[in-house]
């Protein structure tokens, strides 16, 4: 298991951490997620072993899609993600986005590993780049695998083995790129 300091140093050294959201989008997203509820599909399957649960509320897809599209439109974000994972995008713009959601980190009675065979992305058989955006400060005390300040994002290869501590409680945005 990687500890927070090692993860932070690794991802920072690799150039994976950035601040790709505008202040306006960050403020809007932080406010919007406050009263979001667990998505119905996640309520029906509480036994599913994943480190976070998807949140939803009225108009969530439209809002999150717009924020993610704004992130993707900033060329330096795509360059950072591409450099970190060592892959070039096959296409650009909104077509680069594979999926997105708002999330809350789940608490567990034991630490949880997300193995490479399951992966972090939408489809385990398709290599992708996932991006976590911190809407509050995230670290191991609220279920995240490393420290991110509010507004920071981290790009991770979907096949990376990432350790999520069992604490839970953090929240943010998550999206997958065809990269």
State the pLDDT at residue 14.
60
How is 111-145 classified by DSSP, letter by letter? -EEE-TTT-SSS-TTS--EEEEEESS-BSGGGT-S
What are the residues whose beta carbons fall under 8 Å from the beta carbon of 52, sequence distance 6 or more? 103, 104, 105, 106, 143, 164, 174
Q: pTM higher than 0.85, yes or no? A: yes
CA 75 to chain centre: 19
- Encoding tokens for residue 114? 């997300």
Q: What is the pLDDT of residues 19-55, one digit of tens each?
A: 999 999 999 999 999 999 988 877 787 777 778 889 9
pLDDT at res. 111: 63
Q: Which residues contact 133 (CB under 8 A, 6 or more apart)?
A: 20, 21, 29, 71, 152, 153, 172, 173, 174, 175
CATH of the domain at 80: 2.60.120.620
Q: In the prediction, which pLDDT does 3 show?
A: 46
Query: For residues 15 and 80, what is the distance between their CA atoms, to the nearest angstrom?
Result: 6
pLDDT at 7: 54
What residues of the chain score a pLDDT lower than 50? 1-6, 8-9, 13, 116
Query: pLDDT at position 78, please?
Result: 95
Q: Tell me how many domains the chain contains.
A: 1
| Domain containing residue 97 | 4-43+51-177
């Amino acid at each position: 298991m990687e500890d927070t300091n090692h993860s932070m140093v690794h991802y920072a050294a690799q150039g994976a951490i950035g601040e790709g959201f505008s202040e306006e989008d960050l403020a809007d997203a932080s406010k919007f997620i406050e009263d979001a509820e667990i998505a119905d599909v996640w309520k029906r399957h509480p036994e599913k072993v994943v480190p976070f649960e998807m949140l939803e509320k009225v108009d969530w897809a439209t809002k999150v899609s717009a924020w993610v599209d704004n992130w993707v439109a900033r060329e330096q974000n795509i360059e950072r993600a591409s450099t970190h994972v060592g892959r070039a995008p096959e296409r650009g713009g909104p077509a680069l986005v594979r999926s997105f959601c708002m999330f809350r980190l789940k608490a567990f009675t034991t630490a949880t590993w997300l193995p490479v065979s399951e992966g972090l992305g939408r489809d385990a058989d398709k290599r992708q780049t996932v991006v976590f955006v911190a809407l509050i400060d995230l670290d191991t005390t609220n279920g995240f695998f490393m420290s991110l300040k509010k507004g920071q994002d981290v790009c991770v290869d979907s096949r990376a083995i990432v350790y999520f501590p069992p604490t839970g409680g953090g929240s943010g945005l998550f999206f997958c790129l065809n990269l």
